[in-house]
Amino acid sequence: MAVLSASTPRATTRRTILRWLTAIALPCGAVACGAAAGDRAGEDRLSREAGAADVAALDSLPWDSVVARARGTTVTWRMWRGDPSINAYVDGWLAPQLRERFGITLEAVDGQGAELVNALVVEREAGRTRGTASLLWINGETFASLRRERLLAGPFAQRLPNARFVDSASAIIARDFEQEPLGFESPWGTVQFALIYDSVRTPTPPRTVAELRAWIVAHPGRFTHDQGFAGATFLKGVMYALSGGVATFAGGFDSARYEAGRDTLFAWLAGVTPSFWRRGETYPPDVAAMHRLFANGEIDFSLSNNQNEAVTKARQGVLPPTVRALVLRDGMIANTHYVGIPASAPNAAGAMVVADFLLSPEAQLEKAKVDVWGDGTVLATHTLPPEWRASFAALDGDPRAVPRDTLTRYARPEVAPAYHERLLRDWRRRFRTGGP
């Protein structure tokens, strides 16, 4: 993705659009998105965009014909490129498989969140009906923004043959931050938040939010969280626990419920922040920085949005071999990541074939291996043929991993995207910048 100079007119347009995108409310339920779909000008614009037209045309074709159209093409996938294990899976395993099986060249490029949305808006404002990306890695607030801006083609997910294996009974998979995907995104992985500790350094870790508070106060300077997505997920999980559970915030964003939960959380933070690493005056920028502090012995807990990261990073030598993952009994947030096809996709057929292969037992099993990535599967493994069921069952066993039944017991779903955005914004204003 091209980087624009801050002094160029196009960069100014980008900043203006980005401010406008982030200023408007994020939640986009089925009713709201349906209302947007009724906008005649939006319908006319969408009908002219390549990806939307192609997905509509492909809907009437047999799957073999979709695969035939995809053969010999290139699929550009905008995705998060911040983890070497994920990049290795995509570049070193997935791309060769797609090339060998379908003749598809996969090009993974960096792009996520508001920046991804902004890039698509800029393309549209420039009058480009055929864009550069054919596939997007999305979920949560990004999905809400893309749907609200009518930047996704679809529905397409129900056309994918391997969708029959998806665990649609799972609330974590079936709803994306309380949003109905409605076929505009296809799931391809699940993760669950977990703390990471050293079983030698901390042989009896806290098991609840109340115990965690007591531990932090008793061990000043040994705990912190990052100021990015994982840190916000940690704060949101504590807010759930202190406010009666996730049900308090279910059913769409509510300002009164949010403010009550935020105030309770901030009172909890006010009591523990002076005992944080560097007294909470500064925070690591991301999870990678958390891991470095942990490995260097500066803090006693790291964290991750992937429940298996303790195992993968230990095997890679990033973290000590004695690390363990920890889920608190109050519950830990779990969510699903998806792929979507932009309305301006130049290669909708290729994108659909890639999305379908991501749901195949082969691709799901490979990325679930902790030596590869350790990403959770979206498949209902009991519906798979016996040989695949056995392969997935064999994934369990590393003592550093949290047992699957424990993960399921303590998994808590995401709520409306606005809770995440508002909490991160308010936390930054109150704690990172020292506001009132």
Single out the residue of 329, 320, 213 nearest to residue 268, CA to CA.
Answer: 213
Predicted confidence at residue 8, as pLDDT, reads 36
Each residue of 51-70: pLDDT tens digit? 888 999 999 999 999 999 99
Tokens standing for residue 18:
């980005």
For the purposes of burial, counting CB atoms within 10 Å of the CB of 130, is it exposed (0-12), middle (13-18) or buried (19 or more)? Answer: middle
Which residues, including other chains, have CB under 8 Å from residue 133's CB and lie 6 or more apart? 76, 77, 78, 109, 111, 119, 120, 342, 345
Predicted confidence at residue 179, as pLDDT, reads 95
pLDDT for residue 229 is more than 80: yes
Q: Are 51 and 355 in contact (CB under 8 A)?
A: no
- Second CATH level (architecture) for the domain 194-334+411-432: 3-Layer(aba) Sandwich (3.40)
DSSP secondary structure string, 121-182? HHHHHTT-SS-S-SEEEE-HHHHHHHHHTT-B--S-GGG-GGGGGB-TT-HHHH-BTTB--T
Tokens standing for residue 354:
């890639």
The model's confidence at residue 397, banded by pLDDT at 50, 70 and 90, is confident
- DSSP 8-class letter at 369: S
Predicted confidence at residue 400, as pLDDT, reads 84
Q: In Å, what is the CA distance from 305 to each residue of 175, 281, 283?
A: 18, 24, 17
Neighbours of 175 (CB within 10 A): 15
| Mean pLDDT on 370-397 | 93
pLDDT for residue 18 is more than 80: no
Topology adopted by domain 28-188+336-398: D-Maltodextrin-Binding Protein; domain 2 (3.40.190)
For residue 404, which amino acid is it?
Answer: R
pLDDT for residue 328 is more than 80: yes
Predicted confidence at residue 171, as pLDDT, reads 92
| Mean pLDDT on 275-298 | 97
Q: Does residue 323 sit in helix, strand or coil?
A: strand
Q: In Å, what is the CA distance from 292 to each residue of 87, 108, 137, 295, 306?
A: 20, 27, 27, 5, 17
The model's confidence at residue 401, banded by pLDDT at 50, 70 and 90, is confident
| Mean pLDDT on 80-86 | 92
pLDDT for residue 131 is more than 90: yes
What is the chain's mean pLDDT, rounded?
89
- Ranges 11-25, 120-134, 261-275, 308-322: which has the least confidence: 11-25
Rounded percentage of the chain residues whose pLDDT exceeds 70: 88
Does the fold of domain 194-334+411-432 match that of domain 28-188+336-398? yes
| Mean pLDDT on 164-178 | 96
Predicted confidence at residue 49, as pLDDT, reads 77
Residues 373, 147, 429, 112, CA torsion sign = positive
Q: Does residue 325 sit in helix, strand or coil?
A: strand
The model's confidence at residue 35, banded by pLDDT at 50, 70 and 90, is very low
Predicted confidence at residue 186, as pLDDT, reads 98
Domain segments of the chain as ranges: 28-188+336-398, 194-334+411-432
Predicted confidence at residue 10, as pLDDT, reads 36
Rounded percentage of the chain residues whose pLDDT exceeds 90: 82
Predicted confidence at residue 434, as pLDDT, reads 53
- Our separate counts of H helices and E strands in the chain read 20, 9
The model's confidence at residue 5, banded by pLDDT at 50, 70 and 90, is very low
Look up the pTM and report it.
Answer: 0.85
Predicted confidence at residue 392, as pLDDT, reads 94
Which residues, including other chains, have CB under 8 Å from residue 428's CB and lie 6 or more apart? 227
**Could you tell me how many residues make up the chain?**
436
